[in-house]
């Protein structure tokens, strides 16, 4: 075999393989990057990218934002609009979000001069050991204009990446009639109608069958991102103050089983650090809401009515009955010592 033929063979294999890969990735679009119409509403998307793109186009329709991980994703914007007149909220929930996401999105929105009157910020306690996203996590990559990365490189990564499991799963989901987790792009809210129905009909049975409620968790979540988290939160508070944005901060009401994973001393340190930067409402800990599994789909995500209780507590809504031990205002600088 001649050297030239050998080289041509190698690069032919390469170009044919890459062309096939790009065609499949573009057509199936397992992360919702290319706007393919295949089952857009049925399967997981890179919500950071999709939502940032959506807001880029429709930012004039909103003037207030809810930032948080997927856990805030069940809260309807109209709930907050009821409490704060002349606001139009967008639920900018993104999967596995942490303070890195919130800070970058806030900075980006400000740099693009999007109107922001209010920022409703939910902090997960497990943020304390997480900052930034893994570069191999395609579901959670920031929009390149938010992260400042190359736009061409961003698309190239999704076009030429190898995602056999995501592609298979998306094709499977497309062929089924079920929509497990419908996403409303106009509000940013997601739902779990099947789970909600099962919980409403027979909560006891649902809870018995939901494995995550019954694991014995070890305490494993340490406060390893202290510096990054505190710095990011401080920067956000300062940015909001400079820009005249009213900021509401509160902690996620984590399910008791999730609470079991937090190292107590570190958890207290995290709350103390938040209080050194800003006042906030604390819904975490073991209270009558977090110890009742009926308030959760599984150990990670609370149901919509919990989000209503959170808002009612923050906005002091006497018309809604809230468990007394649920939520407390922590004034800035009030958490000293232990």
Partner 1 sequence: MLFNSYIFIFAFLPFTFIVYFYLNHKKAHNSSKIFLVASSLFFYAWWNVIYLPIILCSILFNYTFSNFFLRDNSKKPLLFLGILFNLSLLGFFKYYDFFVENINFIFSSHAELLDLALPLAISFFTFQQISYLVDSYRGEIKNQKFLDYALFVTFFPQLIAGPIVHHKEMMPQFADENRQKRDFKNITMGIFIFSLGLFKKVVIADSFAVWATHGFDIAEQLNLFAAWFTSLSYTFQLYFDFSGYTDMAIGVALLFNIKLPINFNSPYKAKDIQDFWRRWHMTLSRFLRDYIYIPLGGNRRGELLTYTNLMLTFVLGGLWHGAGWTFLFWGFLHGLALVIHRLWKSFGFRLYSWLAWFLTFNFINISWVFFRAKEWDDAIKVLGSMFSLDNMVLPKVLESKLEFLSSYGVDFGFFYWYMETIIWIPLAFLLVLFSKNSMEILDGFTLNYRTAIFTGILFTAGVVGLNRVSEFLYFNF
Q: Site for partner 1 (CB under 8 A): which residue of 78, 202, 204, 215?
A: 215
- Pick the closer one to partner 1 by CB: 211 or 318: 211
- Pick the closer one to partner 1 by CB: 11 or 58: 11
Q: Site for partner 1 (CB under 8 A): which residue of 26, 34, 222, 315?
A: 222
Q: Kindly tell me the sign of the dihedral angle through the C-alpha atoms of 222, 91, 75, 182.
A: negative
Which ranges of the chain does DSSP label H, i.e. alpha helix?
3-28, 47-58, 77-83, 99-111, 144-147, 151-159, 164-175, 193-201, 203-209, 226-243, 256-259, 264-277, 304-314
Q: Site for partner 1 (CB under 8 A): which residue of 144, 161, 304, 323?
A: 161
Shortest Å, Cβ 106 to partner 1: 26
Please report, in angstroms and rounded to a whole number, the separation of the first and last CA atoms in the chain.
76
As a whole number of angstroms, the distance between CA 47 and CA 332 comes to 32
Binding to partner 1, residues 17-76 (CB under 8 A):
17-18, 21
Kindly state the tokens that stand for 304: 């919509």
User: Which residues are 329's β-sheet partners?
Assistant: 281
Q: What is the dihedral of CA 184, 158, 43, 183, to 10 degrees?
A: -10
Residue 160 CA to its chain's centroid (Å): 26
Contact between 3 and partner 1 per CB under 8 A: yes
As a whole number of angstroms, the distance between CA 87 and CA 12 comes to 57
Between the alpha carbon of residue 81 and those of residues 86, 117, 234, 237, 304, the distances in Å are: 7, 12, 26, 22, 16
Applying CB under 8 A, the span of 1-9, 29-37, 168-176, 266-274 interacting with partner 1 comes to: 1-9
Contact between 165 and partner 1 per CB under 8 A: no
Contact between 286 and partner 1 per CB under 8 A: no
Q: Site for partner 1 (CB under 8 A): which residue of 85, 165, 218, 336?
A: 218
Applying CB under 8 A, the span of 72-80, 211-219, 242-250, 269-277 interacting with partner 1 comes to: 211-219
Shortest Å, Cβ 13 to partner 1: 3
Question: What residues contact residue 108 under an 8 Å CB cut-off, 6+ apart?
Answer: 52, 145, 146
As a whole number of angstroms, the distance between CA 124 and CA 17 comes to 42
**How deeply is 162 buried, as exposed, middle or buried, from its count of CB atoms within 10 A (0-12, 13-18, 19+)?**
exposed
Applying CB under 8 A, the span of 40-48, 56-64, 135-143, 310-318 interacting with partner 1 comes to: 135-143
Shortest Å, Cβ 169 to partner 1: 18
Q: Site for partner 1 (CB under 8 A): which residue of 58, 112, 148, 160?
A: 160
Shortest Å, Cβ 313 to partner 1: 31
Contact between 4 and partner 1 per CB under 8 A: yes
Q: Site for partner 1 (CB under 8 A): which residue of 135, 176, 205, 209?
A: 135
Binding-site ranges for partner 1 (CB under 8 A):
1-4, 6-7, 9-14, 17-18, 21, 134-136, 138, 153, 156-157, 160-162, 215, 217-218, 220, 222, 224
């Amino acid at each position: 075999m001649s050297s030239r033929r050998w080289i041509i063979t190698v690069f032919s294999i390469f170009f044919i393989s890459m062309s096939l890969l790009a065609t499949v990735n573009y057509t199936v679009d397992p992360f919702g990057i290319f706007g393919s119409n295949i089952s857009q509403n049925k399967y997981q998307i890179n919500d950071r990218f999709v939502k940032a793109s959506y807001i880029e186009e429709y930012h004039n329709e909103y003037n207030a934002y809810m930032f948080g991980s997927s856990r805030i994703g069940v809260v309807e914007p109209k709930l907050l609009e009821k409490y704060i007149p002349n606001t139009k909220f967008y639920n900018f929930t993104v999967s596995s979000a942490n303070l890195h996401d919130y800070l970058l999105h806030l900075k980006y929105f400000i740099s693009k001069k999007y109107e922001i009157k209010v920022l409703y910020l939910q902090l997960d306690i497990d943020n304390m050991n997480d900052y930034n996203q893994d570069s191999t996590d395609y579901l959670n990559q920031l929009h390149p204009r938010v992260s400042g990365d190359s736009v061409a490189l961003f698309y190239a990564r999704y076009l030429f990446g190898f995602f056999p499991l995501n592609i298979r799963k998306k094709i499977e989901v497309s062929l089924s009639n079920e929509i497990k987790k419908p996403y409303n792009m106009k509000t940013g809210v997601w739902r779990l109608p099947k789970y909600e129905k099962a919980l409403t009909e027979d909560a006891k049975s649902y809870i018995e069958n939901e494995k995550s409620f019954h694991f014995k968790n070890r305490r494993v979540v340490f406060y390893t991102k202290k510096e990054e988290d505190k710095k990011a939160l401080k920067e956000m508070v300062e940015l909001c103050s400079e820009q005249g944005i009213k900021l509401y901060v509160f902690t996620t009401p984590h399910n008791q089983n999730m609470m079991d994973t937090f190292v107590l001393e570190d958890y207290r340190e995290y709350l103390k650090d938040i209080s050194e930067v800003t006042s906030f409402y604390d819904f975490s800990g073991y209270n009558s809401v977090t110890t009742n599994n009926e308030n959760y789909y599984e150990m990670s995500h609370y149901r919509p009515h919990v989000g209503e209780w959170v808002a009612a507590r923050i906005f002091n809504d006497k018309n809604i009955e809230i468990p007394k031990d649920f939520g407390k205002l922590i004034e800035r600088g009030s958490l000293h010592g232990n």
